[in-house]
Amino acid sequence: MKTRLTALILSALFAMGFVGKTYAGGETKLDDRPNLTVRGEALLRVQADQMHLNIAAVTHAETADRALDQNTVLMQNVIQALKKIGLTEDEYQTGQFQIEPVWSQRPRQAPEDWRPRITGYTVTNRLAIKTQKLPLAGKLIGAATDAGANAIDSILFDLSDQRKYRAQAIREATANALADARSLADAASVKLVRVLSLSLDNAVTTPFRVPPESFARGLMAAEAAAPPISSGEVTVQAGVMLVYEIGE
């Protein structure tokens, strides 16, 4: 009765693609041995320990030189303000720098010979901050805006040692796959012979991004007090595919 039950379960597993094929006469090809396939997954939620903050200084003037001079002074003031808060030189670097002309807008009843002309220039200078001093998040934003920074491009929190938690997620996903394989084999009354293949299906770290609307609230609150910024959690996911050879 047990043998018949095992045969029925193996037949059902084969129909669902969980086991391979056995040929007549007991000959089994290497790639078609009776097998059991499971997928293990793991999801970690880890408190962030590193912040990335992109701050920009934007200036406008009639000439490119004047807009550039204003921007240089403005960014120097921003950097000095950030240093006073506790930021060090190895925690920031200048990012994208742009000089763009500002063109006149076409009037409603423009003459036929109307042509757009340059009315001024806009200079944008971005500062990329990477620091593990998370308690300073709100103070850095407040100090930068007080010093003249007028744009916050992004704020995100991640992990300084991503591989550490990636490895942990992979270990947990593998352990889950092994546990599921044993449970499935036990339910089907079959034996796990050996591992035929084990592959990493997925391993992703997703940082925590502060919603853009929080930037606006932070800028509005900067003059009154340092805006509260929560670091949140980083998710680390991993998936593995495990294939076992099975026997009765």
pLDDT value at 227 more than 50 = yes
The C-alpha atoms of residue 179 and residue 141 are separated, in whole angstroms, by: 48
User: What mean pLDDT comes out for the span 124-133?
Assistant: 94
Q: Which two tokens stand for residue 73?
A: 């002074």
Count the neighbouring beta carbons within 10 Å of the beta carbon of residue 17.
Answer: 8
Query: Whole-model pTM above 0.75?
Result: no
The C-alpha atoms of residue 225 and residue 37 are separated, in whole angstroms, by: 57
Residues 6+ apart with CB under 8 A from 102: 60, 118, 119, 120, 121, 122
pLDDT value at 147 more than 60 = yes
Q: What is the pLDDT of residues 84-97, one digit of tens each?
A: 999 999 999 987 88
User: What mean pLDDT comes out for the span 224-233?
Assistant: 67
Alpha carbon 5 to its chain's center: 48
pLDDT value at 25 more than 80 = no
3-state SS record for 177-200: HHHHHHHHHHHCCCEEEEEEEEEE
What distances in angstroms separate CA 28 from CA 4, 6, 13, 195, 228, one per listed residue?
21, 19, 17, 16, 65
Whole-number pLDDT of residue 166:
95
User: What mean pLDDT comes out for the span 17-24?
Assistant: 43
Question: Are 166 and 218 contacting, i.e. CB atoms less than 8 angstroms apart?
Answer: no
Q: What is the pLDDT of residues 162-220, one digit of tens each?
A: 999 999 999 999 999 999 999 999 999 999 999 999 999 888 999 998 876 665 555 55
Mean pLDDT of the chain: 84
